Amino acid sequence: MQWDPLRADWYVPSGRTPPDVMQVFIDARAEIFWHREAPDDPQTPYGAYATYCLLMLEREVRVSVMKLGECHCMSIQVEYFVDERGNSDFDMYSIGSPPGLLGRHLLSHGFSRMSLADASRHCVDG
């Protein structure tokens, strides 16, 4: 099973002034563990995305960030955690999945969830 950016929920800022991505991570009390810049060759028809691995409440949260127009949209790929029995486990996200830790934070701070195609129309076509 692999995360698919075209079949994932993307979190799009609702306001006119898009928030700074790093500030969003700081506000969510997420620490950046590692980061991979967006490649020169886009991974999607809408563009390329950078990948961040965050540590948030003892979970590893992998999130993609794509610039569409003036917006920085985010999609949570997966959350890794240790369950109550001490086993490593993960939640992988696709369209309609429950939002998870970072997703709940984004929704409570003025972001909307939509497909990448809808995010592109929202951010680029306005």
Per-residue pLDDT reduced to its tens digit, 52-83 = 999 998 889 999 999 988 888 999 999 898 87
pLDDT in the model for residue 76: 94
Mean pLDDT of 94-98: 87
pLDDT in the model for residue 75: 95
pLDDT in the model for residue 43: 93
pLDDT in the model for residue 69: 85
**Nearest CA to 78 among 64, 66, 90?**
90
Q: Is 73 exposed, middle or buried (0-12, 13-18, 19+ CB in 10 A)?
A: buried
pLDDT at residue 121 tops 80: yes
Q: Are 5 and 43 in contact (CB under 8 A)?
A: yes
Band (pLDDT 50/70/90 cuts) for residue 89 is: confident
Band (pLDDT 50/70/90 cuts) for residue 97 is: confident
pLDDT at residue 126 tops 70: no
Q: Are 11 and 25 in contact (CB under 8 A)?
A: no
Q: Would you kindly state where each structural domain of the chain is located, as residue ranges?
A: 5-125
Per-residue pLDDT reduced to its tens digit, 1-39 = 688 999 999 999 887 666 788 888 999 999 999 999 999
Identity at 126, one-letter amino acid code: G
More confident residue, 100 or 11: 11
30-53: b or e for each residue (b if 16 or more CB lie within 10 Å)? beeeeeeebeeeeeeebbebbbbb
